[in-house]
Amino acid sequence: LVVVNPKNYDLERIQKMATVAAVEIVENIKIYNTLQEALFEFNWVVGTTARTGSHRQTIRDPRQLAEELVDISQNNKIAILFGPEDKGLANRELGYCHTAVTIPTGKCTSLNLAQAVMVICYEIFVAGKDLSPPFTPRLASFYELEGMYEHLKEVLIKIDFIDPKNPDYWFQNIKRFLSRLKLLSREVKIIRGICRQLLWYMETHHRQDQTKAAD
């Protein structure tokens, strides 16, 4: 269990409310100041949301998600990200996720946090109970992907593919596309190698052009 920037965090109160089976989980809660720090070591991040706009990630229901995660979890660390109970995850926070899940609720537009956690965890438990899924290779970590995104963004700005005045806005669709590919660590290294070569090439030819202009 990982908690990000909690307000009024009271471990003693939480311990008193916990069941016997949950004591070990409570005692090992990890607390981080930022979401980026919390996601550092994970390979696959799932965001929970009640909103399903057309510009969001691929949206799955809990059962679809569970079937996918059983496979991915064999060789990867997975984070399921829940937002504050009153407002959920912001668009910026959902931007860190590879995919998103929403719980169908009919006329009731939302569940409280505990109910949402219970539904999703139950589906994952059932999906993995008697299944022997195929092996999934280790995916690139959140840290590796964020580094690749920044590298790629730098290249796209330099070639005028995206507007340098608001690069994050124009880059978000590219990021969503890449996040669906389940990139491996070695594939991220290849993409970053291409970015480095492109930046080197542009810098070299820029200097050559300046030299010719001076002559």
For residue 124, give both structure tokens: 């994952």
Alpha-carbon distance of 145 to 188, in angstroms, equals 7
In tens digits, the chain (215 residues) has pLDDT values of 999 998 888 888 888 888 888 888 888 889 999 999 999 999 999 999 987 665 566 788 999 999 899 888 888 999 999 998 888 899 889 989 999 999 988 776 668 888 999 999 999 999 888 666 566 678 999 999 999 999 999 999 999 999 888 888 889 889 888 988 889 999 999 999 999 999 999 888 877 766 666 66
Query: How much is the pLDDT for 110?
Result: 67
Task: Reply yes or no on domain 34-129 having CATH 3.30.70.260.
Answer: no
Alpha-carbon distance of 6 to 85, in angstroms, equals 12
| CA 117 to mean position of chain CA atoms | 18
Query: How much is the pLDDT for 124?
Result: 92
Cα(first)–Cα(last) distance of the chain, in Å?
64
What amino acid occupies position 147?
G
> Domain ranges in the chain?
1-32, 34-129, 142-214
Query: How much is the pLDDT for 161?
Result: 93
Tokens 């009271």 belong to 10
- For the domain spanning 142-214, the CATH number is 1.10.8
Q: Are 184 and 138 in contact (CB under 8 A)?
A: yes
Query: How much is the pLDDT for 132?
Result: 63
